Amino acid sequence: MPKIRVLIVDDSALMRQLLSSILSSDPGIEVIGTAPDPLVAREKIKALSPDVMTLDVEMPGMDGIAFLEKVMTLRPMPVVMVSSLTEKGAEVTMRAMELGAVDVFCKPADAASGGFLAHGPELIEKVKAAAASKVRALVDHGRRPATRLSVTQIYKSTDRLVAIGSSTGGVEALRDIVLALPPDAPPIVIAQHIPPRFSTSFAERLDGLAAVRVKEAEDNERILAGHVYIAPGDRHLTVKRSGAALMTHTHDGPLVSGHKPSVDVLFHSVAEVCGSNAVGIILTGMGRDGAEGLLAMRRAGAETIGEDENPGRRGPRTGPVAHRRRNPEIVPGVTKALMPTH
């Protein structure tokens, strides 16, 4: 199997050295070049045709976002953003995800002292996942000119709850699903593999574009129609019942299935509280997180939907996903299933 050819773009010589050292340690990855700024990177992209590019968010000359927009318009490729865990870094990185970057790697605070190497397996995993991802040319998403629900409509009882599990690399598909929703869509709860701070920026950016209201979930708030609730980046999200109302519960705790927030944690709670009055959706690239929870939802009678990574397969579906959609069909397939039935 050919190696994954990676181009590293970062204005810090130390970061270029660290990233190169970590990625080169994996036998399946070859670092074919590095660049200190977008101008050099542009020439190396033309000359080397990398499979994956790691891109620093903030650089001199042309910032990473402006460069990414040009790349995704003219020469789309899998890009892993390298960002600091700051509020500004989170906002810029979420913009990068909207432009088509497939994942984000957060720089450890102790990078200069050698703590960076401990995060090597995470970086390698993200680059490999990026290489296997499907990218497409940049499409502009304008704000949806739609009227949101009135207060009376919001508080009407809902027939079902929708739960979605997505990895960081699923941001684009998740965004497309949310932007396709009508104002009267059923309430949606989302566990998205995303770093702390990033979930707030992600929710705010989607809220500015979608017909539904999108927000970062808070503890003990009523779940309402026409609303999307995204788990905070460092807390688990579950659903509970208070009388006839569904409520959110966010809480700290250990990693579950390797993640916090965990899709399994969310799905198990939805299975227990909502039973058959729910829809479970899982996007590809999730690893093991979400499989057990989605199976629990299916056994409780919920409809379950997922991307089909093996569309040629035949025979009955006995796993957690009852309805599979091929990659180009996942967004229209999911949004059709979520449309309210009147």
| Ordered alpha helix ranges (H), the chain | 13-24, 38-48, 64-74, 87-99, 120-132, 151-154, 171-179, 198-207, 263-274, 291-299, 330-338
6-18 burial by CB neighbour count: b if 16+ within 10 A, else e? bbbbbbbeebbeb
- Residues recognised as catalytic: 167, 193, 289
- Residue recorded with tokens 């701070």: 197
Q: In sequence order, what DSSP letters do the residues of 198-232 get, joined into one string?
A: HHHHHHHHHHTT-SSEEEE--TT-B--TTEEEE--
Residue 111: CA count within 13 A, CB half-sphere = 19
Encoded tokens for 172: 């684009």
Q: Cβ(8)–Cβ(59) under 8 Å?
A: no
Residue 300: other Cβ atoms inside 10 A: 19
Q: How far apart are CA 13 and CA 16, in angstroms?
A: 5
Q: SS3 of 175, please?
A: helix
Strand 236-242, strand 227-230: pairing: unpaired
CA 70 to each of CA 99, 126, 137, 139, 209: distance values in angstroms, whole numbers, following the listed order: 10, 22, 10, 12, 22
The secondary structure of residue 256, as a DSSP letter, is: B
